[in-house]
Amino acid sequence: MYKTDYERSLDQASILLIQTLTDKVKKLMSDGEQNGDILHELVKRTQQLAVEGRLLYGRCKETDSKDEAKARLWELGYRCEQEGSCVRIELPLLLPKRGTGASFITEPLHDMLSLEDSYKRFKDCTVVFRHIYGGEKKIADIRDHDNIESRAVLNVIERYFLTSDSGYYCTNIQTTELGRSSKTIIHLLSGRPDIHALRKAVTG
């Protein structure tokens, strides 16, 4: 098969898949099924398809150097930078609601972090999750911070950076803000907040 025919076939398959999924979502929403099990399963399968497609692409490109693989992940919006005693990790999406699955987030994050030979490992650490809502999103769109995806992401981060994500060693802070584009930025800071000062502030 010629390359142009191959690309045309992929384009047609992608368009058909997206259109089919879009039509199903529209029908479910028109039927009042926004929070129904069918829509939830549809979203879950779409995410799984994205994971499988990314893994297949990775296997086809497995001869790439680490620099090439890192550049590809950076293009997708997955980034990790170390500056002194701080680490900044950027994910190109908001962490979803509880129960929608996290592998489509954690798999590329793991791939990105595994490209480095070594990282600074924190004993006491403050982990700050910044949930940034962008585009047309408004305050009414902002969700609470109680989701299992944050925990799943923290488990990956622990593997590379933390002695332990136990509350004894790790303080977890989550904040929300509005920005130009939706994404999640995670900062790892050495040490923990002054617990005595916080206790004094809340107890008087």
- Is residue 138 located within the same domain as residue 171? yes
104 pLDDT more than 90: no
Provide the mean pLDDT of the chain: 77
Residue 134 gets which letter from DSSP? -
The alpha carbon of residue 29 and the mean position of all alpha carbons in its chain are separated, in whole angstroms, by 26
- Are 56 and 111 contained in the same domain? no
d(CA 128, CA 89): 10
Separation CA 20–CA 75 (nearest Å): 28
Q: How many domains does the chain have?
A: 2
Q: Which whole number is the average pLDDT over 146-172?
A: 88
pLDDT of 55-103, one tens digit each?
Answer: 656 655 555 677 777 777 887 788 998 887 889 999 988 886 655 567 7
Residues 84, 141 within the same domain = yes
- Are both 192 and 164 inside the same structural domain? yes
Would you state the structure tokens that stand for residue 111, as one six-digit string? 């791939």
Domain holding 45, by residue range, is 1-64
| Co-location of 158 and 121 in the same domain | yes
Per-residue tokens: 165: 């994500």
Please indicate, yes or no, whether residues 59 and 70 belong to a single structural domain of this protein. Answer: no
Q: What is the identity of the amino acid at 6?
A: Y
- Asked which of 42, 64, 86 is the last residue of a domain, the reply is 64
How far, in Å, CA of 112 to CA of 66, rounded?
9
Residue at which a domain ends, from 64, 88, 110:
64
Q: What CATH code is carried by the domain that includes residue 179?
A: 3.30.1330
Q: Picking from 30-39, 101-110, 186-195, which range would have the lowest pLDDT averaged per residue?
A: 30-39
Do 93 and 56 share a domain, yes or no? no
Residue for token pair 């995670």 = 186
Let me know whether 73 and 108 are in one domain: yes
Do 59 and 76 fall into the same domain?
A: no
Element spanning 15, H or E: helix 3-30
Structural tokens at position 154? 């923290």
- Let me know whether 35 and 47 are in one domain: yes
129 and 39 within one domain: no
Domain boundary among 64, 80, 103: 64
